[in-house]
Amino acid sequence: GDKAFAQFLTDEIKEEKKIQKHKSLPKVSGGWELEVHGTEARLVRKIAGEKITVTFNINNSIPPSADDETQEEQKPDEQEPDLTSTPNFVVEVIKDDTKQTLVLDCHYPEDEVGHEGEEESDIFTIREVSFQPTGESDWKDTNYTLNTDSLDWALYDHLMDFLADRGVDNTFADELIELSTALEHQEYIKFLEDLKSFVKCQ
């Protein structure tokens, strides 16, 4: 059984490498620096008196496909639909002269992705906003967290503009999907390779 499994994985890795769009990770325009730690990625950008970091994790970032039934009937030579990774991402804005960090929790609404030609709508939304003490990795549940579900639209628009002024806009969000998808695929191939070594190990 293990032999057949290893052979299957070898073929699978070959196929995945064939359809891999990016041999190296795509860049995000606008002077963002990328750090990757396993499945977590962080983009950092410094502008006058501020540091902006965007963090996301590719785990569970691929939305479940809506039509599971059709997968069964798929002919083997048909191209599988492209999987797109749309991770939640957290934007932190740190001002040099304050001890606080503004944290905005953003995500891609499932029904928004891929509606071309509509009026300029945002491809991502802000879910929650809070202040966190700068330099502390753990979020404090005791800090007030603003949930945007019941938010005044004018305030919400200002928050979106605030992000856009710092380079977090639709273009950024598109490029983040591209980057995340490439990263996810790279990690998937690495996982298959690790699995193959594991299965072959006696």
Query: What is the average pLDDT across 13-29?
Result: 90
pLDDT tops 90 at residue 133 = no
pLDDT > 70: percent of the chain: 84
3-state DSSP assignment of residue 92? strand
pLDDT tops 70 at residue 74 = no
Q: Which residue has the tokens 């499945």?
A: 39
Distance (Å, whole) CA 125 – CA 109: 7
* pLDDT band at residue 31 using 50, 70 and 90 as cut-offs: very high
Q: Taking all residues of the chain, what is their mean pLDDT, rounded to a whole number? A: 85
pLDDT tops 50 at residue 5 = yes
pLDDT at 142: 78
Query: What is the average pLDDT across 13-39?
Result: 92
- Residue 86 makes CB contacts below 8 A (sequence gap 6+) with 61, 62, 63, 107, 108, 113, 177, 180
Alpha-carbon torsion angle 191, 194, 195, 197, nearest 10? 160
The least confident of 8-12, 25-29, 96-100, 146-150 is: 96-100
* pLDDT band at residue 137 using 50, 70 and 90 as cut-offs: low
Distance (Å, whole) CA 8 – CA 14: 10
pLDDT in tens, 39-71: 999 999 999 899 999 999 999 998 876 544 334
User: How would you classify the pairing of strands 89-95 and 50-57?
Assistant: antiparallel
pLDDT at 70: 39
pLDDT tops 90 at residue 159 = yes
Q: Domains of the chain (ranges plus CATH)? A: 1-60+83-110+119-197 (3.10.280.10)
Give the strands of the sheet with 40-47, arranged side by side: 33-37, 40-47, 50-57, 89-95, 100-107, 125-133, 145-147
Distance (Å, whole) CA 103 – CA 82: 32
Query: What is the average pLDDT across 84-112?
Result: 89
